[in-house]
Chains A and B, each alone.
Chain A
Amino acid sequence: MNKRPGIWFYIFLVVFVFFVMFPFIWVFLTSIKPPGEIFNNFKWFTSNPSLESYENALTNRPLVRYMMNSFIISSLTTIIAIAFASIAAYALTRLPIKFKGLILGVILAASMFPQIAIISPIYNFITAVGLRNSYMGLVIPYITISLPLAIWILATFFQKIPWELEESAKLDGATPFQTFRKVIFPLAAPGVFTTGILVFIAAWNEYLFALTINTEDTWRTVPVGISFYQSQFTIPWGDISAATVIVTIPIVILVLIFQRRIVAGLTSGSVKE
């Protein structure tokens, strides 16, 4: 276990990281080629880099609008889901209620529901209340995806908070709600934040609902918008590469900053400590 890693280990690491990153590297290198050089050309580096593809990507399709839509929808989803989930997860881990196992079971089951099984009634509902092509039209179904996920992860984080603090707050005469606000919440804030990142990423990446509910171009989100760059007859790979780079950069930044938290959140539900 505590062997000092040798040179072979680092060579393996470099090769592994290279394979994982290869699609991004190639797409980036393509995006800075002049569009004429892309076809039937497998040279890695272009001798005259240009930003033409970036210009095209931003002007041929409303990419900035897609990103704004995605950002607003994902933020709203995160805020609503976290608000409901943190209250529920607190009650489930801390308060003496019955049927905890059953409630958690229902929530876990809901998080496993295939989206295709609920999409047609949700589509009918959103159409009936006139929310097609709007932000709320997607925020409502996204809560289905994020709420169970958020409750599940938050319950794990809340479980780890030491009990004694709560007991002493209770002895000092704090109500359960005060305990929650003054003791639990500050301690749980890192967990809540982590859950928020995961919920945000899940909402940002969703495709099926975004595809069926927001069908007007100005209301599309990033994943759907990108998949519609190709037209019937031509596939503008230059535009697509540039657009991919543009939408990937915020995610790369997010991951670089919060990687520790993300890993903690991802693994919290699966490993017992």
Chain B
Amino acid sequence: MKFELSEKQLGYLMVAPALLLVIMITLWPVAQSFYNSLFDYRLNDPSRSERFVKSNVDLERYANDFFYLSRDLEGLAGQAPNQDVADAATKISKDIEAYHEKLLAMDGLSEQYEEVEGRLASFTAISDRELKYAEVDKDFASDYKDFLTSAEKEITTLSQNSEDEAFKTASANVAGAINSSNRAIIESNFIGLGNYSKYLQSERMWKALGNTMFFTVASVGVELVLGLLIALLINRVFMGRGLVRASVLIPWAIPTAVAAMMWAFLYDGQTGIVSHYFEQFGLIRDASVLLSTGTGGMFSVIFADVWKTTPYMALLLLAGLQTISGSLYEAAEVDGANKWQQFWKITLPMLKSAILVALLFRTLDAFRVFDLIFVLTGGGPANSTESISIYAYITLFSQQNFGAGSVLSVIVFACVAIISTLFIKFIGSDLFAGRSSR
């Protein structure tokens, strides 16, 4: 009994590291992606480069700007060409001071502000998020921002109306400083499901999703039929089996990006041999069609995918065929069943679980297609081959828009989850049968 217990504990101990790793680097990031998708979160915009559920002040930036702003504003009244302008400048200066004091009066903020000022004075960058950002009241932040926006407008008008060159420059500088301080106050960029409603109405998103589904159904369908045919034909003893098997494995084994590069060369309108032969045989009207039209592009991508993965499909199905006992066919032969009947009554039913598993893996693989299309057509021409993964990649990394891009990631994830649930319903517990029971 004691031995059994420790063996069990050891079992958990042995599974734990792998399970933790899997959770840390797949489940946790998916949760993060979902969280990111709720924000207007952009890496290339300083006021949105973090996720803020509450309003915040970027103290590093604010303290720096405020130092110059208060100095310049006080000086501005002295430079004013007439009393009205001087009064206006003084009033803005006083109001800003009031807002500033209100800000510092908040809980613990004055100490934090001093600390930040100290760092600024010694020219050290602040990497500690806790120190850099201070949470502030939502209403206060929006009031302060509104005030700064209108103050900037007012001073810009004063600057434009003035004829005094020196005042013109000084006031333009102040307007710039106000604008900068304004951007240091960051309102929450939490927008809930806003990104989702935007994408669910986006034509480009639906087009990309449609492209992905078309690609998946067409390529997996062709691969299944061709793969099954090939598997049936080579399911026998013949010379050179090893050679055939090796040649079939090579397309599967080379990197997809390398295969895509090869096909880009073969499809090329000027030097591509495949497009040249297609033109010669009258399949396309001229050699450039394959990569420069939407239909041609989609065909090219599917054709390249079929070339790369049909052999793999054939291998999986061949392994399934080889588990069917020959005596079944002998019995059917005795009963007078012809080849066609044998195929439908014996081969297909016996092969069902192998087909479903192969289909599951291939469908999921095809649905998240990225490198093949990215390298071969780049999603073009005119987005006609853009898959949902490519659209997500462009939004995430070319536009640096992590909030919106995460929505697309979540959509891919949801589709994959739905597809696998459907398949696993069909496959049932077969998938686990051999493994989970002792």
Contacts and interface: CB of A to CB of B under 8 A. Distances in A.
Interface of A: 1-3, 5, 9-10, 12-13, 16-17, 20-21, 23-24, 26-27, 30, 38-42, 84-85, 87-88, 90-97, 100-101, 103-110, 112-125, 140-141, 143-144, 147-148, 151, 155-156, 159, 176-177, 201, 204-205, 207-208, 212, 222-224, 226-227, 229, 235, 237, 240-241, 244, 247-248, 251-252, 254-256, 259-260, 262-263, 266-267, 269-273
B382 interface: no
B326 interface: yes
Contact of B323 (A5, A12, A119, A271): A271
Interface in B241-270: 242-251, 253-266, 268, 270
B253 A255 contact: yes
Given A26-B273, A251-B253, A144 B261 contact: no
Contact of A108 (B30, B406, B410, B431): B431
Contact of A159 (B32, B254, B435): B435
A247 B53 CA distance: 48
Contact of A263 (B319, B371, B406, B434): B319
A101 B154 CA distance: 68
B220 to A, nearest CB: 15
B402 A92 contact: no
Contacts, number: 297
Nearest to A29: B273
A270 B357 contact: yes
Given A26-B266, A100-B436, 8 more contacts: A2-B236, A84-B18, A97-B12, A116-B412, A120-B29, A237-B268, A251-B250, A270-B316
Interface stretch (B2-10, B63-71, B95-103, B164-172): B2-10
A271 B433 CA distance: 11
A77 to B, nearest CB: 12
A141 B25 contact: yes
Nearest to B230: A16
24 contacts: A40-B270, A93-B438, A97-B12, A105-B432, A107-B22, A112-B364, A113-B416, A114-B409, A114-B412, A116-B393, A120-B402, A121-B29, A148-B26, A151-B18, A207-B374, A222-B258, A226-B257, A240-B265, A255-B249, A256-B246, A259-B242, A260-B242, A267-B316, A267-B320
Contacts of B402: 120, 124
A211 to B, nearest CB: 8
A214 to B, nearest CB: 13
Interface residues of B, number: 105
Interface of B: 4, 7-8, 10-12, 14-15, 17-19, 21-23, 25-30, 32-33, 36, 230, 233-238, 240, 242-251, 253-266, 268, 270-271, 273, 276, 307, 311-312, 315-316, 319-320, 323, 326, 329, 353-354, 357-358, 361, 364, 367-368, 370-371, 374-375, 389, 392-393, 396-397, 402, 405-406, 408-410, 412-413, 416, 420, 430-436, 438
A21 B245 CA distance: 12
9 smallest CB-CB distances across A and B, nearest first, come from A95-B11, A267-B319, A88-B18, A121-B32, A223-B257, A91-B14, A118-B29, A207-B371, A97-B11
